[in-house]
Structure 1
C-alpha cells in the first residue's frame, strides 16, 4: 500500500489535533513516509481542493464541509468520481471522512460509530432516566443516529430557537420522539440518570443559570463533542458533583481510530493515538498519561 497522504479540512481548522493523532497512529503501525497536514477550506471549496491535490489518499472533514463530503462520495461533484458512502453518512446527511477507493472517493461518518461506542459505555453504567441532546446541527445528527442505534427512542432537545428542519426529518425517520427545551430549562431536566450529549461550542456553556446550583448532578453523565476551552463551567460542575464527564477529545480519538483504518487498512489502538498528545492535555481531559511530554 502507498504511504498515506492526508489532510484535515474545515473552517476554522488551525486548532485541529487530527494531524498529531494520525501521525502517532501511523508510527505505531509502522507506516513510514506518510504526510498529514491541515488546510483551511471555506464552504463550497472542498471539490476544488481535491481537484488541486490529486495525490491525496484521505481527508478528515470538519465543519462546514460535511455535506459537501457526502455529495462527493455520492458522485454529485462535477469533475470528481464518487464511489459511494456508508450508511452512517447517509443517515446523518454528512461525512467526516473521504478515502480514495477504486479510482474515486468513498465517504464515511466515523463520528457515528465512535459516538455509538462511547454511548454504549455510558449506558451500561446504570439506568438512564432521561436523554438530553444539545444542538440540532450536523454533529447533533450524527449523535442522533448513534443514540438510535443504542436503543434511544425519546429525548429532550435543547435549542435556542427551535430545531433545524434537517434534524427533525432525521428524528422522524429514525422514530425518535422529542420535546424541545431552552437552555434555561435544562437545569430542571438534570437529575439522577440523566445522559447529556452536547454538540454545541464550549462557549455556549459560559452562562451558568442560578438553577444549576440546585440540580442534582451527582449521577449525571455528560458526553461533549467539543474539546476547545475545556472544561466549560457546566462540565466542571457535573464533574465536581461526582457525575461522569467525557470531553470531545475522547470522541476525536475514538473516531480517528476508525479513520486511520479506513485510510490505511490497518486498525490502531486508542493508546497508539494518545501517544501523539502531550501529557498535560491528556490529564486535562482525563485520558490518562503517555510517555510524550508537553
Structure 2
C-alpha cells in the first residue's frame, strides 16, 4: 500500500505553486497525492490577476469525500484567505482526527505585502495552528506571528521558540530575506536545530514554500521523524532549484520532477 498525502490549498493555473506544486512534489517524493481546493487563481510567473474562493460548504464536501475513502497519512495546508474556509478545515481535521498536519502559514508575500485579512490571521492562530505538527513560516510571517523584528539568527530562535510555545507544535522558521539565506531553523520540544541549505543562484523560485511544506508532509506520511523529514525536504528542494528550469517572464517554477527519470520521461528524439 502506498502512503498518501492531502494538500488543502489554492490552485495555481501556471503550475508552479499551490495545489499543482504540491501534487508534483508529493508524487516526486513517493506518496499518493490528493487535493482539496480552497480557491481558483488566475496567475502566472508575473503575478495573480484573479481569485475565486470555494464556498465553505463545497470545501467541507471535498474533505468529507477524501477522509471517508482514502484517509491521508499526512495533510499539508497552504494559503487559505477566508475565515469561514479556515473554520471548516479545522472542523473537518478534528472530526476525522487527521494526523501529521503541516501548516504553511501563507500570510505575507516576499515583497512584504499582506496576503490575508487580520480576522483570517486570528482564525488561523485560534483554529488551525494548534492542530499542526509543524508550522513553516518565513521570516516576515514569523515577525507577524510574534511581533519580533528578526534581524539575526538569535532573533529567529526567539521567534521560533515563541511560536512553538504558543501553539504547542514544532516550527520551521525559514531563512531568506537577506538573513540566513537557504538556512532554516527547526524548533521542537524546547530545542532547536539548524538545517543548512545550498545557496543556489536561481531567480526562478516560484512555489518554494509550497514545495518545502509538501515535501515535509510526504516524508512524515512515509514514517520519517520530523528532523529527517525536514532534511529530506531540504535536499529535495535544493535539487529542484539546481535543475535550473527557466520558464515564463517572471520568477518561474522549479523542476519538481528533476529526479524522475524513466522511459516515460524521455524526450522525443529528432
User: Fold conserved (TM > 0.5)?
Assistant: no
Instruction: Normalising by structure 1, report the TM-score.
Output: 0.39
When Rg is computed on C-alpha atoms for both structures, the one with the higher figure is: 1
